[in-house]
Amino acid sequence: MSYLEYHAKSTPTGLRKVLHLNWGLTLLLITVSSVGFLMLYSVAGGSFSPWVEPQVKRFALGLSVMFVVAMIPIWFWRNISVLAYLGSLALLVAVELFGTVGMGAQRWIDIGFMRLQPSEVTKIALVMLLAAYYDWLPAEKTSRPLWVLLPVILILVPTALVLKQPDLGTSILLMAAGGGVMFLAGVHWAYFVAVIAAGVGLVSAVFQSRGTEWQLLKDYQFRRIDTFLDPSQDPLGAGYHITQSKIALGSGGWSGRGFMQGTQSRLNFLPEKHTDFIFTTLAEEFGFIGGVTLLSIYMLIIVFCIASAIAAKDRFSSLVIMGIAITFFLFFAVNMSMVMGLAPVVGVPLPMVSYGGSAMLVLLGAFGIVQSAHIHRPRQASR
Amino acid sequence: MKRNPKDLDAAHGKMTRRALFLGGLQLAFAGGLAARMRYLQVDQADEFRLLAEENRINIRLLPPARGQIFDRNGLIIAQNSPSYRITVVPEDAGDVEAVIAKLSSLVPLDPEDLERARTEMRRSPPFLPITLADQIGWEDISKVAVNAPALPGVTPEVGLTRVYPQLGDFAHVIGYVGPVSDYDLSKMEDPEPVLMIPRFQIGKVGFEAKREDVLRGKAGAKRVEVNATGRVMRELDRREGISGADMQLTIDAELQNYVQARLGRESAAAVVIDCEDGDIRAICSSPSFDPNLFVRGISVADYRMLTEDNYRPLSNKTVQGTYPPGSTFKMITALAALENGVVGPEETVWCPGHLKVAGRRFHCWKRAGHGHVDLNTSLKRSCDVYYYDVAIKTGIDKISEMANLFGLGIKHDLPMSAVAQGITPTKEWKSSSYGKDWLIGDTANASIGQGYMLASPLQLAVMSARIATGRSVTPRLLKSLDGVEQPSGAGEPLPVSENSLRMVRRGMYSVSNDRRGTAYRSRIAPKEMEMAGKTGTSQVRNITAAERAAGVIRNEDLPWERRDHALFVCFAPYDKPKYAVAVVVEHGGGGSKAAAPVARDVMLQALYNGTPPLEAYPKADRSRIKAQQERLERERVKRPLGSRSSRA
């Protein structure tokens, strides 16, 4: 069924749409954000400034964005996905030209009331475009080489731009999410096996290239990988983040040291404790129980999305929901792996919890699309 | 575009399967994350908790207060005084240079200190205090305190530093402390952590160094919580250190002060020892120095002045210096001869002014000779030939054995630096040290305390005390440690007959009470305090035959460093000995002239426990003594009053 075949009459209209929102998902998002507020309050030493207050404001803004997006019919979003994709590419180029350098990388543009990270927008725009592409493409052509090459190019262009910033974490996320959508759309297994094999080959090539003139990664990226592989090698230098993060996590124990009692975060041993490493503070103060609870809430959101995707009979909706779910999953999975010492430190925030404007705003916008698909899903026409 | 619904359903079915597959993968990954969390937070929790505590908690040492030192009457000799320093916390100061400029208009700041402070500032985090000036006077520190509002970040801080209020009097006895140096640390096997505290003071020489073990005390510690940059957030707990043990010396500071003043600028040493219990009442080496100079590090100029002085103010002549005892050794030779039956008390030796020994002439100091000399006369008039004769008959080994019995050639165990053993030569000693056979002439030299014989002033004082009591009195410097009385130095009777001892004491009595005695002019007048003594004049050069032919040059005509050493040993009262005194005046000339008067004055001061009445002196001397007493009184008062009134 394509959107053209919707029974317009069977979808809710006007304010009645609010009643058809996916309230379970909304509640989960509010819960996760509240966990974020709590942790930001704690790392600020029991204060609403400097982090909780702006974060709450942004969340309020993001929630309204989500509602507005949800109210707009899903076919509108399908129709503008090409535009969104091109727009995000333009932003990526703009950030390259006018962007502000932060943490050694050009990542944001100051747009007055907040700093916009174009790469965040790109993640969603890419998922939207791919979903629209496979919605348009007849199913039998899905696995034909030329029709596979096109989405691969669509993925690689923004990936290359993001990698140039340089933001390795986001570029990996882009590729993984794009690949996920392609997989769901039904592209043949063999392609993925080939890509993974090629990826392994590339990684070994990257390591081979180290120290030569055509070195493929920046030195700092190599160093991050080194320290990830052996953090004890340089405990006060580059390995400091991972070591301290593991100490904070581990010292939390079963039930944690108590709210605002985490010595590692309170005494500043944790780096970036309000952004990328906020999960360690949570794990230190609320222990294993707290950490697993947050993980469960995240997984519940994923489950809600998958259920929603399967329920949606329309191909664009299903793919866009699943793409957003994959993106969301990659966010917290990479972040948690990173702070637990399972992945190198790549600078991926914990979604909805870490302090930061664009990620939260864009994610809530994306969940707006999920909500829109949910509201405007095809229903049994009343006869 | 119209599509086949069948195809669409197939595509949707495939997508659903793949979505569930991906969902499964995601769940599995989440399960992996949870397992990792469990591993870190449950299995390894204890280890990480420990690491977190190590991160968080720093242990800071609290330096202990050093044990204080008192004299036998409780007068303080070494104490800990507050010392003030000015520190600045750059973070609180804001514009550090402006604050320093303001500060230097109030108190004088050393440019060198400032340069060091600036370097330190560049290196350390801005919240750590930097010392701008150390050892600041109370007045300057008050100025800083009053102007505190205008000096942000500046704090006057207080610590403890060692102060020696008795100045030079005890410099050689207790030595001094100084900041621990890398050299000090390199000498230690396993240095205590407290020594790593910057500028921590440890004993460098003397008593301070010898009893460092008990004086230092035990460091306390406080546990503080620090953040990642090392800033102290709060104090968790604190365990105070244990102060070092207080010490009480046997020395009487008043007497010590008098003796030091009496020795004046001479290069000399004097020891006063209690005959009964061995307590050292005074032990002075002159010239002395102010040990306070060393506490914070002496200036190069001051140090050069001390080391380039011919009179060697830094050396402790009382225990480190060894001298040929000269005629003060004759009592030992006499006792050895008497005890071995070589000579009877009444037997006489003919002194023609010299004695031919193995073809060489050994001269008596009196060229004309003393004629028939018995034991008493030999001591009284210090005849050398008598001793050449009896010594050769007795043999050197027996003489040395007797010397050892009386504390010569024995290293007395005193808590002072470099206590010398001295030398009492024997035949074996010479062959092992020089690889040469003992010559009979060596015995002749040794018999009058010349040649190889060497003794420290302390040993001579101990010898006198042992002759006076016939007991093996051992010197004691430490009276009590942490309130616990130390074992007395009173000793067992010596294996020497009372008869021989009485003869020798009688001879010593004659020295200072017989009109013909060598120290008659330095006698003590009151009958009940009469002193027995012995003069000594020890050569520091050989008198050549040519010199002797030309007539011996008078000491006054020689350059200072070639003049004879003057010695005098004595004990008093003769009837019931209380104190023994030994005085050595380096290159002072004759013992009767340079050493005996000093010893007599010191003895009287000790016996009267203060300035003696003029009646204690022979009538002829009284006017001169009166003038001397007044002069010394003035010199002693010159010292800062405050430092002498701090009776504990």
- B643/A contact by beta carbon, under 8 A: no
pLDDT value, residue B134:
77
Q: Do A342 and B55 touch (CB under 8 A)?
A: no
Chain A, chain B: beta-carbon pairs less than 8 Å apart: 139
- A235/B contact by beta carbon, under 8 A: no
What's the Cα-to-Cα distance from A207 to each of A200, A215, A225, rounded to whole Å? 11, 9, 10
DSSP for B489-530 reads ---PBPSS-HHHHHHHHHHHHHHHHSTTSTTGGG---SGGG-
> What is the nearest CA distance from B123 to chain A, expressed in angstroms?
17
pLDDT value, residue A169:
80
Mean pLDDT of A197-207: 85
DSSP for A236-263 reads TTTTHHHHHHHHHHHHHTTT-S-TT--H
Nearest Cβ partner of B56 from A142, A263, A299?
A263
Q: Do B52 and A336 touch (CB under 8 A)?
A: no
Chain B interface mutation, best of A241, A247, A254, A322, highest count of B Cβ atoms under 10 Å:
A247
What residues in A contact B6, CB-CB < 8 Å? none
Distance of alpha carbon B40 from alpha carbon B528, whole angstroms: 91
Residue with tokens 């080489």: A145
Which tokens sit at B177?
Answer: 């402390």
pLDDT at residue A100 greater than cutoff 70:
no
Distance of alpha carbon A271 from alpha carbon A107, whole angstroms: 19
Q: Do A2 and B3 touch (CB under 8 A)?
A: yes
Q: Provide long-range contacts, Cβ within 8 A and 24+ apart, for B237-243.
A: B238/B62, B239/B62, B240/B62, B241/B62, B241/B63, B241/B64, B241/B65, B241/B217, B242/B64, B242/B217, B242/B218, B243/B64, B243/B65, B243/B66, B243/B67, B243/B217
Backbone CA torsion sign across B346, B349, B350, B353: negative
- Which of B117, B133, B161 terminates a domain? The answer is B161
- A269/B contact by beta carbon, under 8 A: yes
Q: What angle do CA B33, B39, B41 make, to 5 degrees?
A: 95
Chain B interface mutation, best of A78, A245, A267, highest count of B Cβ atoms under 10 Å:
A267
- Whether residue B91 lies inside any domain: the answer is yes
- A267/B contact by beta carbon, under 8 A: yes
Q: Which residue has the higher pLDDT, B25 or B237?
A: B25
How many Cβ atoms from other residues are within 10 Å of residue B35's Cβ?
10
What residues in B contact A287, CB-CB < 8 Å? 41
Closest chain A CA to residue B225: A267
Distance of alpha carbon A351 from alpha carbon A329, whole angstroms: 9
Helix, coil or strand: residue B532: strand
Q: Do B48 and A246 touch (CB under 8 A)?
A: yes
Q: Are B423 and B454 in contact (CB under 8 A)?
A: yes
pLDDT value, residue A383:
38
Q: Which residue has the higher pLDDT, B548 or B572?
A: B572
Beta strand spans in A140-279 (E) = none
pLDDT at residue B644 greater than cutoff 70:
no
Q: Which of residues 192-211 of A touch B (CB under 8 A)?
A: none
pLDDT class of B102 with cuts at 50, 70, 90:
confident
Distance of alpha carbon B577 from alpha carbon B64, whole angstroms: 44
- B232/A contact by beta carbon, under 8 A: no
What residues in A contact B34, CB-CB < 8 Å? 291-292, 295
> What is the nearest CA distance from A248 to chain B, expressed in angstroms?
7
pLDDT value, residue B388:
95
Mean pLDDT of A202-217: 78
pLDDT value, residue A9:
52
Residues B155 and B262 reside in one and the same domain: no
Q: Kindly give the interhelix angle for A315-339 and A357-375, rounded to the nearest 10 degrees.
A: 150
Q: Do B11 and A2 touch (CB under 8 A)?
A: no
- Which of B100, B127, B161 terminates a domain? The answer is B161
Nearest Cβ partner of A295 from B18, B34, B53?
B34
Q: Do B12 and A318 touch (CB under 8 A)?
A: yes
For the annotated catalytic residues of B, the residue numbers are 327
pLDDT at residue B396 greater than cutoff 90:
yes
Amino acid at B453: M
**Tens digits of residue pLDDT in B138-193:** 888 888 888 888 888 887 777 888 999 988 899 999 999 988 887 888 888 777 77
What residues in A contact B44, CB-CB < 8 Å? 250
What residues in A contact B33, CB-CB < 8 Å? 295, 333, 336-337, 340, 342
Helix, coil or strand: residue A46: coil
- Whether residue B616 lies inside any domain: the answer is yes
What residues in A contact B37, CB-CB < 8 Å? 249, 283, 288, 291-292, 295, 340
pLDDT value, residue B613:
94
pLDDT value, residue A229:
66
Chain A interface mutation, best of B2, B14, B26, highest count of A Cβ atoms under 10 Å:
B26
Distance of alpha carbon B50 from alpha carbon B205, whole angstroms: 44
Q: Domain with B575 in it: what CATH number?
A: 3.40.710.10
Contacts of A9 (CB under 8 A, 6+ apart): A381, A382
- Whether residue B209 lies inside any domain: the answer is no
Q: How confident is the prediction for chain A on average, in pLDDT?
A: 84
Q: Domain with B105 in it: what CATH number?
A: 3.30.1390
- B18/A contact by beta carbon, under 8 A: yes
Interface ipTM above 0.85: yes
Q: Do A283 and B1 touch (CB under 8 A)?
A: no
Q: Which residue has the higher pLDDT, B491 or B137?
A: B491
> What is the nearest CA distance from A212 to chain B, expressed in angstroms?
36
Amino acid at A21: L
Show the 3-state SS of B101-168. HHHHHHCCCCHHHHHHHHHHHHHCCCCCCEEEEEEECHHHHHHHHHCHHHCCCEEEEEEEEEECCCHH
pLDDT class of B496 with cuts at 50, 70, 90:
very high
What residues in A contact B41, CB-CB < 8 Å? 249-250, 252-254, 283, 287-288, 291
Residues B150 and B262 reside in one and the same domain: no
Q: Which of residues 39-78 of A touch B (CB under 8 A)?
A: none
Mean pLDDT of B544-556: 64
- A82/B contact by beta carbon, under 8 A: no
pLDDT value, residue B647:
34
- Whether residue B524 lies inside any domain: the answer is yes
pLDDT value, residue A1:
45
pLDDT class of A270 with cuts at 50, 70, 90:
confident
Distance of alpha carbon A292 from alpha carbon A302, whole angstroms: 15
**Tens digits of residue pLDDT in B20-55:** 999 999 999 999 999 999 998 988 888 888 888 888
Query: Of the candidates A172, A264, A371, which has an alpha carbon nearest to the alpha carbon of residue B48?
Result: A264
pLDDT class of B645 with cuts at 50, 70, 90:
very low
Q: Do A267 and B225 touch (CB under 8 A)?
A: yes
pLDDT class of A319 with cuts at 50, 70, 90:
very high
Helix, coil or strand: residue B486: coil
> What is the nearest CA distance from A250 to chain B, expressed in angstroms?
4
Residue with tokens 């006057």: B156
Facing residues of B572 across strands?
B579
pLDDT class of B646 with cuts at 50, 70, 90:
very low
Facing residues of B571 across strands?
B532, B580
Amino acid at B430: K
**Tens digits of residue pLDDT in B248-294:** 999 999 999 999 999 988 899 999 999 999 999 999 999 999 999 88
Q: How confident is the prediction for chain B on average, in pLDDT?
A: 88
Closest chain A CA to residue B18: A184
Residues B579 and B436 reside in one and the same domain: yes
- Which of B161, B180, B195 terminates a domain? The answer is B161
**Tens digits of residue pLDDT in B415-469:** 998 899 999 999 999 999 999 999 999 999 999 999 999 999 999 999 999 999 9
Which tokens sit at A233?
Answer: 């090698």
Range scoring the smallest mean pLDDT among A15-29, A353-367, B536-550: B536-550
Q: Are A278 and A43 in contact (CB under 8 A)?
A: yes
What residues in B contact A186, CB-CB < 8 Å? 11, 14-15, 18
pLDDT value, residue B392:
94
Q: Which residue has the higher pLDDT, B83 or A381?
A: B83
**Tens digits of residue pLDDT in B130-143:** 888 877 778 888 88
pLDDT value, residue B509:
96
Domain that holds residue B106: 82-161
pLDDT at residue B15 greater than cutoff 90:
no
pLDDT class of B382 with cuts at 50, 70, 90:
very high
Amino acid at B213: D
Q: Kindly give the interhelix angle for A278-311 and A357-375, rounded to the nearest 10 degrees.
A: 20
Query: Of the candidates B97, B92, B109, B108, which has an alpha carbon nearest to the alpha carbon of residue B148?
Result: B92
Q: What angle do CA B391, B397, B398 make, to 5 degrees?
A: 65
Query: Of the candidates A142, A148, A128, which has an alpha carbon nearest to the alpha carbon of residue A86?
Result: A128
Report the relative pairing of strands A115-116 and B57-62 from DSSP bridges. unpaired
- Whether residue B19 lies inside any domain: the answer is no
- B20/A contact by beta carbon, under 8 A: yes
Q: Where are the domains of chain A?
A: 3-189+231-375
pLDDT value, residue B96:
84
Residue with tokens 């380039």: B308
**Tens digits of residue pLDDT in B580-596:** 999 999 998 888 899 99
pLDDT at residue B59 greater than cutoff 80:
no
What residues in B contact A263, CB-CB < 8 Å? 52-53, 55-56, 225
pLDDT class of A105 with cuts at 50, 70, 90:
low
Query: Of the candidates B170, B171, B179, B173, which has an alpha carbon nearest to the alpha carbon of residue B202?
Result: B179
State the Cα torsion A214-A219-A221-A226 to the nearest 10°.
110
What's the Cα-to-Cα distance from A351 to each of A146, A334, A346, B158, B611, rounded to whole Å? 35, 11, 15, 53, 93
Facing residues of B203 across strands?
B177
How many domains, chain B?
2
**Tens digits of residue pLDDT in B299-315:** 888 899 898 988 999 99
pLDDT at residue A10 greater than cutoff 80:
no
How many Cβ atoms from other residues are within 10 Å of residue B134's Cβ?
17
Q: Which of residues 51-70 of B touch A (CB under 8 A)?
A: 51-53, 55-56
Residues B632 and B494 reside in one and the same domain: yes
Helix, coil or strand: residue A378: coil
pLDDT at residue A250 greater than cutoff 50:
yes
Report the relative pairing of strands B69-70 and B247-249 from DSSP bridges. parallel
Mean pLDDT of A44-72: 91
Query: Of the candidates B538, B546, B547, B519, which has an alpha carbon nearest to the alpha carbon of residue B603?
Result: B519
Amino acid at B366: K
Q: Do B8 and A315 touch (CB under 8 A)?
A: yes
Facing residues of B58 across strands?
B224
- What percentage of chain B reaches a pLDDT higher than 90? 56
pLDDT value, residue B514:
93
Query: Of the candidates B85, B89, B210, B211, which has an alpha carbon nearest to the alpha carbon of residue B160?
Result: B85
